[in-house]
Structure 1
Protein backbone atom coordinates (compact mmCIF):
# COMPACT_ATOMS: atom_id res chain seq x y z
CA UNK A 1 0.00 0.00 0.00
CA UNK A 2 1.11 3.58 -0.56
CA UNK A 3 3.03 5.13 2.35
CA UNK A 4 1.31 7.91 4.28
CA UNK A 5 2.49 11.46 3.59
CA UNK A 6 5.44 12.73 5.58
CA UNK A 7 5.01 15.83 7.71
CA UNK A 8 7.50 18.41 8.86
CA UNK A 9 9.96 17.27 11.50
CA UNK A 10 8.65 17.59 15.07
CA UNK A 11 11.05 18.32 17.92
CA UNK A 12 10.68 17.25 21.53
CA UNK A 13 9.53 20.09 23.74
CA UNK A 14 11.74 18.91 26.58
CA UNK A 15 14.23 16.15 27.20
CA UNK A 16 14.36 16.67 30.96
CA UNK A 17 14.34 13.40 32.89
CA UNK A 18 14.55 11.24 29.77
CA UNK A 19 17.40 8.92 28.82
CA UNK A 20 19.09 9.31 25.45
CA UNK A 21 17.44 6.12 24.20
CA UNK A 22 14.04 7.37 25.38
CA UNK A 23 14.57 10.68 23.61
CA UNK A 24 15.44 8.90 20.37
CA UNK A 25 12.37 6.67 20.61
CA UNK A 26 10.02 9.56 21.31
CA UNK A 27 11.48 11.65 18.49
CA UNK A 28 11.10 8.72 16.09
CA UNK A 29 7.48 8.20 17.14
CA UNK A 30 6.65 11.88 16.76
CA UNK A 31 8.06 11.95 13.22
CA UNK A 32 6.92 8.54 11.98
CA UNK A 33 4.21 9.03 9.32
CA UNK A 34 2.88 5.52 9.96
CA UNK A 35 2.31 6.30 13.65
CA UNK A 36 0.28 9.34 12.69
CA UNK A 37 -1.59 7.48 9.97
CA UNK A 38 -2.42 4.63 12.37
CA UNK A 39 -3.94 7.06 14.86
CA UNK A 40 -5.94 8.73 12.10
CA UNK A 41 -7.27 5.39 10.82
CA UNK A 42 -8.08 4.00 14.26
CA UNK A 43 -5.43 1.26 14.22
CA UNK A 44 -3.92 0.51 17.61
CA UNK A 45 -0.35 0.47 16.29
CA UNK A 46 1.70 1.32 13.20
CA UNK A 47 2.27 -2.44 12.86
CA UNK A 48 -1.20 -2.67 11.31
CA UNK A 49 0.32 -1.32 8.10
CA UNK A 50 2.83 -4.19 8.00
CA UNK A 51 0.03 -6.76 7.87
CA UNK A 52 -1.83 -4.64 5.32
CA UNK A 53 1.34 -4.58 3.19
CA UNK A 54 1.84 -8.35 3.52
CA UNK A 55 -1.79 -9.05 2.69
CA UNK A 56 -1.63 -6.79 -0.38
CA UNK A 57 1.36 -8.79 -1.66
CA UNK A 58 0.46 -12.34 -0.62
CA UNK A 59 -3.36 -12.26 -0.28
CA UNK A 60 -3.29 -13.88 3.14
CA UNK A 61 -6.67 -12.77 4.44
CA UNK A 62 -10.06 -13.71 3.03
CA UNK A 63 -13.67 -13.46 4.23
CA UNK A 64 -14.72 -16.32 6.48
CA UNK A 65 -11.22 -17.36 7.56
CA UNK A 66 -10.23 -18.58 11.04
CA UNK A 67 -7.20 -16.58 12.13
CA UNK A 68 -4.89 -16.74 15.17
CA UNK A 69 -2.84 -13.66 16.10
CA UNK A 70 0.04 -14.63 18.41
CA UNK A 71 1.62 -11.93 20.56
CA UNK A 72 -1.32 -9.77 19.57
CA UNK A 73 -1.08 -6.82 21.99
CA UNK A 74 -1.87 -4.01 21.50
CA UNK A 75 -4.11 -5.37 18.74
CA UNK A 76 -3.24 -3.72 15.43
CA UNK A 77 -2.92 -6.99 13.53
CA UNK A 78 -6.08 -8.31 15.20
CA UNK A 79 -8.00 -5.28 13.93
CA UNK A 80 -6.73 -5.76 10.36
CA UNK A 81 -7.50 -9.49 10.38
CA UNK A 82 -10.97 -8.96 11.83
CA UNK A 83 -11.88 -6.40 9.20
CA UNK A 84 -10.70 -8.73 6.42
CA UNK A 85 -12.43 -11.94 7.53
CA UNK A 86 -15.75 -10.24 8.21
CA UNK A 87 -18.67 -11.50 10.25
CA UNK A 88 -18.38 -15.02 8.83
CA UNK A 89 -14.79 -15.34 10.06
CA UNK A 90 -13.19 -15.86 13.45
CA UNK A 91 -10.14 -14.10 14.92
CA UNK A 92 -8.46 -15.17 18.16
CA UNK A 93 -5.83 -12.89 19.69
CA UNK A 94 -3.42 -14.41 22.21
CA UNK A 95 -0.78 -12.64 24.27
CA UNK A 96 1.04 -12.99 27.58
CA UNK A 97 0.08 -9.38 28.30
CA UNK A 98 -3.44 -8.15 29.01
CA UNK A 99 -5.05 -6.59 25.94
CA UNK A 100 -8.09 -4.39 25.58
CA UNK A 101 -11.03 -6.12 23.89
CA UNK A 102 -11.38 -5.87 20.13
CA UNK A 103 -15.11 -6.07 19.33
CA UNK A 104 -15.73 -9.15 17.22
CA UNK A 105 -12.50 -10.95 18.17
CA UNK A 106 -11.80 -13.38 21.01
CA UNK A 107 -8.96 -12.03 23.16
CA UNK A 108 -7.10 -14.56 25.32
CA UNK A 109 -4.29 -13.99 27.79
CA UNK A 110 -1.79 -16.81 28.12
CA UNK A 111 1.33 -18.55 26.83
CA UNK A 112 0.87 -20.05 23.36
CA UNK A 113 3.37 -22.78 24.29
CA UNK A 114 1.00 -24.16 26.94
CA UNK A 115 -1.45 -26.90 26.00
CA UNK A 116 -4.32 -25.15 27.80
CA UNK A 117 -3.84 -22.00 25.69
CA UNK A 118 -3.72 -24.07 22.51
CA UNK A 119 -6.97 -25.82 23.42
CA UNK A 120 -8.60 -22.50 24.22
CA UNK A 121 -7.58 -21.11 20.82
CA UNK A 122 -9.02 -24.05 18.88
CA UNK A 123 -12.21 -23.97 20.96
CA UNK A 124 -12.64 -20.25 20.31
CA UNK A 125 -12.05 -20.75 16.57
CA UNK A 126 -14.50 -23.61 16.40
CA UNK A 127 -11.92 -25.81 14.67
CA UNK A 128 -8.52 -25.69 13.03
CA UNK A 129 -7.04 -22.36 11.90
CA UNK A 130 -6.69 -21.16 8.32
CA UNK A 131 -3.94 -18.68 9.18
CA UNK A 132 -1.51 -18.17 12.07
CA UNK A 133 0.08 -14.75 12.40
CA UNK A 134 3.00 -13.78 14.62
CA UNK A 135 4.43 -10.30 14.99
CA UNK A 136 6.18 -11.36 18.20
CA UNK A 137 9.68 -10.23 19.04
CA UNK A 138 11.70 -10.72 22.24
CA UNK A 139 13.10 -7.78 24.16
CA UNK A 140 16.28 -6.73 22.37
CA UNK A 141 19.68 -6.76 24.06
CA UNK A 142 21.47 -4.50 21.58
CA UNK A 143 23.75 -7.40 20.60
CA UNK A 144 22.74 -8.23 17.04
CA UNK A 145 23.78 -11.89 17.04
CA UNK A 146 22.01 -12.59 20.33
CA UNK A 147 18.87 -10.75 19.27
CA UNK A 148 18.80 -12.66 15.97
CA UNK A 149 19.03 -16.03 17.69
CA UNK A 150 16.33 -15.08 20.19
CA UNK A 151 13.80 -14.03 17.57
CA UNK A 152 14.60 -17.09 15.47
CA UNK A 153 13.86 -19.30 18.48
CA UNK A 154 10.58 -17.47 19.01
CA UNK A 155 9.70 -17.84 15.34
CA UNK A 156 10.37 -21.57 15.47
CA UNK A 157 8.10 -21.91 18.51
CA UNK A 158 5.38 -20.03 16.63
CA UNK A 159 5.85 -22.44 13.73
CA UNK A 160 5.56 -25.39 16.12
CA UNK A 161 2.23 -23.97 17.25
CA UNK A 162 1.09 -23.33 13.68
CA UNK A 163 1.86 -26.91 12.62
CA UNK A 164 -0.38 -28.18 15.43
CA UNK A 165 -3.38 -25.88 14.88
CA UNK A 166 -3.45 -25.24 11.10
CA UNK A 167 -5.88 -26.96 8.79
CA UNK A 168 -4.45 -28.38 5.54
CA UNK A 169 -4.01 -25.57 3.04
CA UNK A 170 -3.53 -23.02 5.83
CA UNK A 171 -0.95 -20.23 6.05
CA UNK A 172 1.67 -18.84 8.41
CA UNK A 173 3.31 -15.41 8.63
CA UNK A 174 5.89 -14.44 11.24
CA UNK A 175 8.49 -11.81 11.99
CA UNK A 176 12.18 -12.71 11.85
CA UNK A 177 15.45 -10.77 11.79
CA UNK A 178 17.88 -10.87 8.90
CA UNK A 179 21.14 -12.55 9.82
CA UNK A 180 21.66 -15.86 8.06
CA UNK A 181 20.06 -18.34 10.48
CA UNK A 182 16.64 -17.73 8.93
CA UNK A 183 17.69 -20.04 6.06
CA UNK A 184 17.26 -23.10 8.29
CA UNK A 185 13.72 -22.03 9.12
CA UNK A 186 12.95 -21.42 5.45
CA UNK A 187 14.10 -24.95 4.67
CA UNK A 188 11.79 -26.29 7.37
CA UNK A 189 8.89 -24.26 6.03
CA UNK A 190 9.41 -25.62 2.53
CA UNK A 191 8.94 -29.11 3.96
CA UNK A 192 5.56 -28.21 5.41
CA UNK A 193 4.11 -25.65 2.98
CA UNK A 194 3.75 -25.52 -0.79
CA UNK A 195 4.76 -21.85 -1.12
CA UNK A 196 7.30 -19.98 1.01
CA UNK A 197 8.61 -16.43 0.67
CA UNK A 198 9.98 -13.63 2.79
CA UNK A 199 9.49 -9.90 2.51
CA UNK A 200 10.25 -6.60 4.18
CA UNK A 201 7.05 -4.53 4.08
CA UNK A 202 7.37 -0.89 2.96
CA UNK A 203 5.99 0.13 6.36
CA UNK A 204 8.87 -1.62 8.17
CA UNK A 205 11.43 0.95 9.30
CA UNK A 206 14.41 1.07 6.94
CA UNK A 207 16.91 0.84 9.79
CA UNK A 208 15.22 -2.29 11.18
CA UNK A 209 16.62 -5.73 10.35
CA UNK A 210 13.17 -7.31 10.61
CA UNK A 211 11.67 -9.29 7.75
CA UNK A 212 8.60 -11.47 7.52
CA UNK A 213 8.37 -15.05 6.37
CA UNK A 214 5.13 -16.03 4.65
CA UNK A 215 4.14 -19.65 4.01
CA UNK A 216 0.91 -20.89 2.41
CA UNK A 217 -0.52 -24.23 1.41
CA UNK A 218 0.10 -26.15 4.64
CA UNK A 219 0.59 -29.81 3.80
CA UNK A 220 -0.66 -31.15 7.14
CA UNK A 221 0.69 -34.17 8.97
CA UNK A 222 3.95 -34.41 10.93
CA UNK A 223 7.62 -34.63 10.06
CA UNK A 224 9.28 -38.01 10.40
CA UNK A 225 12.75 -38.55 11.91
CA UNK A 226 14.37 -37.77 8.55
CA UNK A 227 12.53 -34.45 8.27
CA UNK A 228 10.09 -35.69 5.60
CA UNK A 229 6.39 -34.84 5.75
CA UNK A 230 4.37 -37.92 6.70
Structure 2
Protein backbone atom coordinates (compact mmCIF):
# COMPACT_ATOMS: atom_id res chain seq x y z
CA UNK A 1 0.00 0.00 0.00
CA UNK A 2 2.91 2.36 0.65
CA UNK A 3 4.04 1.84 -2.94
CA UNK A 4 0.56 2.24 -4.40
CA UNK A 5 -0.26 5.36 -2.35
CA UNK A 6 2.99 7.36 -2.05
CA UNK A 7 1.16 10.27 -0.39
CA UNK A 8 0.73 8.09 2.73
CA UNK A 9 4.44 8.30 3.53
CA UNK A 10 5.84 11.50 1.97
CA UNK A 11 9.54 12.29 2.17
CA UNK A 12 10.34 14.30 5.31
CA UNK A 13 6.75 13.78 6.48
CA UNK A 14 5.33 13.58 10.00
CA UNK A 15 3.31 10.41 10.64
CA UNK A 16 1.39 9.12 13.67
CA UNK A 17 1.07 5.33 13.98
CA UNK A 18 -1.85 4.39 16.28
CA UNK A 19 -1.95 0.84 17.61
CA UNK A 20 1.67 0.57 16.53
CA UNK A 21 2.81 -2.51 18.50
CA UNK A 22 4.85 -4.51 17.69
CA UNK A 23 6.08 -1.82 15.29
CA UNK A 24 5.78 -3.24 11.78
CA UNK A 25 4.12 -0.22 10.17
CA UNK A 26 6.61 2.17 11.78
CA UNK A 27 9.45 0.02 10.45
CA UNK A 28 8.05 0.44 6.93
CA UNK A 29 7.41 4.15 7.36
CA UNK A 30 10.80 5.08 8.84
CA UNK A 31 13.02 4.65 5.73
CA UNK A 32 10.36 5.97 3.35
CA UNK A 33 10.08 9.24 5.29
CA UNK A 34 13.87 9.55 5.37
CA UNK A 35 16.12 11.09 8.00
CA UNK A 36 14.16 14.36 7.96
CA UNK A 37 10.85 12.56 8.49
CA UNK A 38 9.42 11.47 11.82
CA UNK A 39 7.14 8.66 13.00
CA UNK A 40 5.35 8.80 16.35
CA UNK A 41 4.43 5.23 17.29
CA UNK A 42 1.75 4.93 19.98
CA UNK A 43 0.25 1.86 21.65
CA UNK A 44 -0.98 0.54 24.98
CA UNK A 45 1.67 -2.18 24.68
CA UNK A 46 5.43 -1.58 24.89
CA UNK A 47 7.36 -1.25 21.62
CA UNK A 48 11.08 -1.88 21.27
CA UNK A 49 13.19 0.96 19.79
CA UNK A 50 12.86 1.01 15.98
CA UNK A 51 14.94 3.80 14.41
CA UNK A 52 16.31 7.27 15.13
CA UNK A 53 13.37 8.95 13.41
CA UNK A 54 10.75 6.94 15.34
CA UNK A 55 9.50 8.17 18.73
CA UNK A 56 7.72 5.51 20.78
CA UNK A 57 4.96 6.47 23.22
CA UNK A 58 3.11 4.02 25.45
CA UNK A 59 -0.39 4.64 26.73
CA UNK A 60 -4.05 5.18 25.80
CA UNK A 61 -4.17 7.84 23.08
CA UNK A 62 -7.58 8.95 24.38
CA UNK A 63 -6.19 9.96 27.79
CA UNK A 64 -5.45 13.66 28.33
CA UNK A 65 -1.93 13.00 29.62
CA UNK A 66 -0.95 10.92 26.59
CA UNK A 67 -2.52 13.46 24.21
CA UNK A 68 -0.56 16.25 25.92
CA UNK A 69 2.65 14.24 25.50
CA UNK A 70 1.76 13.53 21.89
CA UNK A 71 1.10 17.21 21.12
CA UNK A 72 4.46 18.10 22.67
CA UNK A 73 6.28 15.56 20.48
CA UNK A 74 4.40 16.81 17.38
CA UNK A 75 5.27 20.44 18.13
CA UNK A 76 8.93 19.62 18.83
CA UNK A 77 9.19 17.54 15.66
CA UNK A 78 7.51 20.21 13.52
CA UNK A 79 9.84 22.91 14.87
CA UNK A 80 12.92 20.77 14.23
CA UNK A 81 11.82 19.83 10.71
CA UNK A 82 10.99 23.44 9.90
CA UNK A 83 14.45 24.52 11.02
CA UNK A 84 16.23 21.98 8.83
CA UNK A 85 13.91 22.03 5.80
CA UNK A 86 14.34 24.16 2.71
CA UNK A 87 10.55 24.03 2.14
CA UNK A 88 9.35 25.43 5.42
CA UNK A 89 5.91 26.37 4.15
CA UNK A 90 4.83 22.74 3.87
CA UNK A 91 6.12 21.83 7.30
CA UNK A 92 4.60 24.71 9.23
CA UNK A 93 0.92 24.24 8.41
CA UNK A 94 -1.02 24.79 11.62
CA UNK A 95 -4.51 25.01 13.00
CA UNK A 96 -5.20 27.99 15.25
CA UNK A 97 -7.22 27.21 18.32
CA UNK A 98 -7.81 28.77 21.72
CA UNK A 99 -4.68 27.03 22.91
CA UNK A 100 -2.53 28.45 20.12
CA UNK A 101 -1.20 27.13 16.84
CA UNK A 102 -1.15 23.33 16.60
CA UNK A 103 1.18 21.76 13.98
CA UNK A 104 -0.56 19.49 11.48
CA UNK A 105 0.67 16.01 10.55
CA UNK A 106 0.94 14.43 7.10
CA UNK A 107 -0.58 11.02 7.84
CA UNK A 108 -2.28 9.04 10.58
CA UNK A 109 -2.05 5.25 10.40
CA UNK A 110 -4.54 3.32 12.53
CA UNK A 111 -3.76 -0.36 12.97
CA UNK A 112 -5.92 -0.57 16.08
CA UNK A 113 -8.07 -3.64 16.56
CA UNK A 114 -10.26 -4.54 19.52
CA UNK A 115 -9.74 -7.79 21.39
CA UNK A 116 -11.90 -10.34 19.60
CA UNK A 117 -14.74 -11.94 21.58
CA UNK A 118 -15.71 -14.48 18.93
CA UNK A 119 -19.18 -12.95 18.76
CA UNK A 120 -19.34 -11.48 15.26
CA UNK A 121 -21.86 -8.69 15.92
CA UNK A 122 -19.95 -7.50 18.98
CA UNK A 123 -16.61 -7.66 17.16
CA UNK A 124 -17.95 -5.69 14.20
CA UNK A 125 -19.35 -3.02 16.53
CA UNK A 126 -15.99 -2.80 18.31
CA UNK A 127 -14.20 -2.43 14.97
CA UNK A 128 -16.59 0.35 13.90
CA UNK A 129 -16.15 2.16 17.21
CA UNK A 130 -12.36 2.15 16.80
CA UNK A 131 -12.69 3.48 13.24
CA UNK A 132 -14.87 6.32 14.52
CA UNK A 133 -12.44 7.03 17.36
CA UNK A 134 -9.48 7.15 14.96
CA UNK A 135 -11.36 9.53 12.66
CA UNK A 136 -12.25 11.84 15.55
CA UNK A 137 -8.61 11.85 16.61
CA UNK A 138 -7.48 12.73 13.07
CA UNK A 139 -9.83 15.66 12.59
CA UNK A 140 -7.99 18.91 13.20
CA UNK A 141 -4.61 17.15 13.22
CA UNK A 142 -4.16 16.40 9.50
CA UNK A 143 -2.84 18.79 6.88
CA UNK A 144 -5.30 19.92 4.23
CA UNK A 145 -5.14 20.63 0.51
CA UNK A 146 -3.12 19.29 -2.38
CA UNK A 147 0.56 19.30 -3.26
CA UNK A 148 -0.17 21.29 -6.43
CA UNK A 149 -2.69 23.88 -7.50
CA UNK A 150 -5.44 22.86 -9.94
CA UNK A 151 -7.37 25.63 -11.68
CA UNK A 152 -10.65 23.89 -12.37
CA UNK A 153 -12.65 20.95 -11.07
CA UNK A 154 -12.44 19.13 -14.41
CA UNK A 155 -8.67 19.51 -14.58
CA UNK A 156 -8.37 18.40 -10.98
CA UNK A 157 -9.97 15.03 -11.64
CA UNK A 158 -7.69 14.40 -14.62
CA UNK A 159 -4.45 15.75 -13.21
CA UNK A 160 -4.36 14.40 -9.67
CA UNK A 161 -2.20 11.37 -9.01
CA UNK A 162 -1.93 9.32 -5.84
CA UNK A 163 0.99 11.44 -4.66
CA UNK A 164 -0.80 14.79 -4.89
CA UNK A 165 -2.90 14.58 -1.72
CA UNK A 166 -2.04 16.04 1.68
CA UNK A 167 -3.59 14.90 4.94
CA UNK A 168 -4.02 11.13 4.56
CA UNK A 169 -5.20 8.30 6.76
CA UNK A 170 -5.13 4.51 6.76
CA UNK A 171 -7.67 2.68 8.97
CA UNK A 172 -7.88 -1.07 9.56
CA UNK A 173 -11.39 -2.55 9.89
CA UNK A 174 -13.44 -5.76 9.65
CA UNK A 175 -15.55 -5.85 6.50
CA UNK A 176 -19.27 -5.50 7.19
CA UNK A 177 -22.20 -3.57 5.63
CA UNK A 178 -22.13 -1.14 8.58
CA UNK A 179 -18.68 -0.02 7.47
CA UNK A 180 -20.05 0.99 4.05
CA UNK A 181 -22.33 3.47 5.81
CA UNK A 182 -19.37 4.72 7.87
CA UNK A 183 -17.39 5.26 4.67
CA UNK A 184 -20.26 7.10 2.96
CA UNK A 185 -21.46 9.27 5.84
CA UNK A 186 -18.33 9.94 7.87
CA UNK A 187 -15.22 9.44 5.72
CA UNK A 188 -16.24 10.70 2.27
CA UNK A 189 -17.48 14.11 3.52
CA UNK A 190 -14.07 14.93 5.04
CA UNK A 191 -11.64 13.35 2.53
CA UNK A 192 -11.21 14.01 -1.19
CA UNK A 193 -10.89 10.30 -1.99
CA UNK A 194 -11.71 7.17 0.07
CA UNK A 195 -10.79 3.70 -1.15
CA UNK A 196 -10.91 0.20 0.33
CA UNK A 197 -7.90 -2.10 0.13
CA UNK A 198 -7.49 -5.75 1.06
CA UNK A 199 -3.74 -6.47 0.82
CA UNK A 200 -2.58 -9.71 -0.74
CA UNK A 201 -0.76 -10.48 2.50
CA UNK A 202 -4.10 -10.87 4.32
CA UNK A 203 -5.50 -14.39 4.34
CA UNK A 204 -8.17 -14.80 1.67
CA UNK A 205 -10.76 -15.87 4.26
CA UNK A 206 -10.00 -12.92 6.53
CA UNK A 207 -12.49 -10.04 6.71
CA UNK A 208 -9.70 -7.61 7.55
CA UNK A 209 -9.34 -4.65 5.20
CA UNK A 210 -8.33 -0.98 5.17
CA UNK A 211 -9.84 2.40 4.41
CA UNK A 212 -7.35 4.53 2.47
CA UNK A 213 -8.39 8.14 2.99
CA UNK A 214 -6.64 10.78 0.86
CA UNK A 215 -6.81 14.58 0.99
CA UNK A 216 -8.27 15.79 4.27
CA UNK A 217 -10.71 18.63 3.60
CA UNK A 218 -10.81 20.03 7.11
CA UNK A 219 -13.72 20.54 9.46
TM-score higher than 0.5 here? yes
In structure 1, distance between residues paired with 2:105 and 2:63: 17
8 Å contact kept, 1:122–1:128: no
Deviations 1:19-43 (A, max 9, x none): xxxxxxxxxxxxxxxxxxxxxxxxx
Contact 2:172–2:211 (CA<8 Å) still a contact in 1? yes
CA distance in 1, matches of 2:41, 2:28: 12
Q: 2:192–2:217: 8 Å Cα contact kept in structure 1?
A: yes
Paired residues of 1:122 and 1:129 also in contact (CA < 8 A): no
Cα distance in 2 for residues equivalent to 1:164 and 1:210: 27
Structure 1 residue runs of 5 or longer lacking an equivalent are 1-53, 222-230
Alpha-carbon distance, 1:205 to partner: 1.3
Show the counterpart of 1:66. 14
Aligned partner of 1:117 in structure 2 is 66
Whether the aligned pair in 1 keeps the contact of 2:30 and 2:51 (CA below 8 Å) is no
Corresponding position: 1:140 with 2:116: yes
Q: Report the counterpart of residue 48 of structure 2 in structure 1.
A: 100
The structure that has the greater radius of gyration is 1
Shift of 1:57: 2.1
Q: How many residues align?
A: 168
Deviates more, 1:84-93 or 1:121-130: 121-130
The match for 2:208 is: 210
CA distance in 2, matches of 1:85, 1:120: 22
> What is aligned with 1:39?
none
Alignment of 1:189-208 (within 5 A): 189-208=187-206
Q: d(CA) in 2 for partners of 1:71 and 1:87?
A: 23
Give the match's secondary structure for 1:198: strand
1:115 Cα offset (Å): 2.8
- Structure 1 residue 122: Cα displacement: 2.9
Once superposed, what is the RMSD of the aligned Cα atoms?
1.2
**Structure 2: 5+ residue stretches without partners:** 79-102, 145-165
String of CA shifts for 1:141-198, please: whole Å, max 9, x gaps. 1122211111110111011111132122301101011111101221211111101111
Task: Report the equivalent of 2:94.
Answer: none
CA distance, structure 2, for counterparts of residue 103 and residue 61 of structure 1: 16
Q: Normalised by the size of structure 2, how large is the TM-score?
A: 0.73
**Corresponding position: 1:154 with 2:130:** yes
Q: What's the offset of the Cα at 1:124?
A: 1.5
- Residues 50-101 of structure 1: per-residue CA shift (max 9 Å, x gap): xxxx112222212111000001010000111111101111100000111111
